[in-house]
Amino acid sequence: MARSLRPNPPAGNFLTARSVNTDLLRTSTVSEIVNQLPGAIPVFEKLHIDYCCNGKLPFSEACQRANTTEEEVLEALKQAPPVTASTIRPHDWSIDLLANYIVQNHHQYVKRTLPDLVALADKVFAKHGVNHPELTEVRELVHTLNKDLQAHMYHEEHVLFPAINALVKECASILREPGPFARTMHNLNPVVVTLENEHDLAGHCLHRLREVTQDYFLPSDACTAFTNLYKRLQEFETDLHLHIHLENNLLFPKTLTLQARQQEKPFYLN
Give the tens place of pLDDT for each residue, 138-151: 999 999 999 999 99
Same domain, 28 and 127: no
Inside any domain, residue 1: no
Is a pLDDT exceeding 80 seen at residue 186? no
Same domain, 50 and 128: no
Same domain, 229 and 162: yes
Express each pLDDT in 200-246 by its tens digit: 999 999 999 999 999 999 999 999 999 999 999 999 999 999 999 99
Is a pLDDT exceeding 90 seen at residue 5? no
How far is residue 163's CA from residue 85's CA, in Å, rounded to a whole number? 32
Ramachandran region, residue 259 (left: φ > 0; alpha: ψ -120 to 50; beta: rest): alpha
Same domain, 260 and 191: yes
Residue where one domain finishes, among candidates 48, 77, 106 = 77
SS3 content of the chain, % helix, strand, coil (to 5): 65, 0, 30
Beta bridge partners of 19: 16
Same domain, 56 and 134: no
Same domain, 65 and 137: no
Same domain, 162 and 256: yes
Quickly state the pLDDT bin for 120 (edges 50, 70, 90). Answer: very high
Is a pLDDT exceeding 60 seen at residue 123? yes
- The residue range of the domain holding 114 is 92-269
The CATH number linked to 31 is 1.10.3910
Same domain, 117 and 28: no
Is a pLDDT exceeding 50 seen at residue 121? yes
Is a pLDDT exceeding 90 seen at residue 29? yes
Q: What is the dihedral of CA 135, 138, 139, 142, to 10 degrees?
A: -160
Among 100-104, 185-189, 235-239, the range scoring the smallest mean pLDDT is 185-189
Q: Are 123 and 202 in contact (CB under 8 A)?
A: no
Q: Between these two residues, 78 and 234, which has the higher pLDDT value?
A: 234
First to last CA, the chain: 19
Inside any domain, residue 83: no
Same domain, 111 and 217: yes
Q: Which residues contact 217 (CB under 8 A, 6 or more apart)?
A: none
Same domain, 177 and 143: yes
Helix axes 189-212, 134-155, angle to 10 degrees: 160
Q: Which residues contact 113 (CB under 8 A, 6 or more apart)?
A: 232, 236, 239
Is a pLDDT exceeding 70 seen at residue 13? no
How far, in Å, are 54, 120, 121, 180, 259 from residue 184 at the CA level? 31, 42, 42, 6, 13
Is a pLDDT exceeding 70 seen at residue 71? yes
Instruction: Give the per-residue pLDDT at 176.
Output: 55
Same domain, 107 and 57: no
Inside any domain, residue 10: no
Q: Between these two residues, 174 and 137, which has the higher pLDDT value?
A: 137
Express each pLDDT in 161-173 by its tens digit: 999 998 888 887 7
Same domain, 132 and 67: no
For residues 116-132, average pLDDT? 98
Instruction: Give the per-residue pLDDT at 18.
Output: 46
For residues 36-58, average pLDDT? 92
How far is residue 262's CA from residue 256's CA, in Å, rounded to a whole number? 10
Over its C-alpha atoms, the chain yields an Rg (Å, rounded) of 21
Residue where one domain finishes, among candidates 28, 47, 77 = 77
Inside any domain, residue 214: yes
Inside any domain, residue 37: yes
Inside any domain, residue 237: yes
Query: In whole angstroms, what separates CA 15 from the centre of its chain?
Result: 24
User: Number of structural domains, the chain?
Assistant: 2
What are the backbone dihedrals phi and psi of residue 188, each rounded to the nearest 5 degrees, phi first?
Answer: -95, 0
Inside any domain, residue 7: no
One-letter amino acid for residue 192 of the chain:
V
For residues 14-42, average pLDDT? 78
Instruction: Give the per-residue pLDDT at 20.
Output: 62
For residues 92-109, average pLDDT? 96
Inside any domain, residue 4: no
Which residue from 116, 253, 264 is spatially nearest to 195, judged by alpha carbons? 253
Residue where one domain finishes, among candidates 36, 51, 77 = 77
> Mean pLDDT for the chain?
87
For residues 29-43, average pLDDT? 91
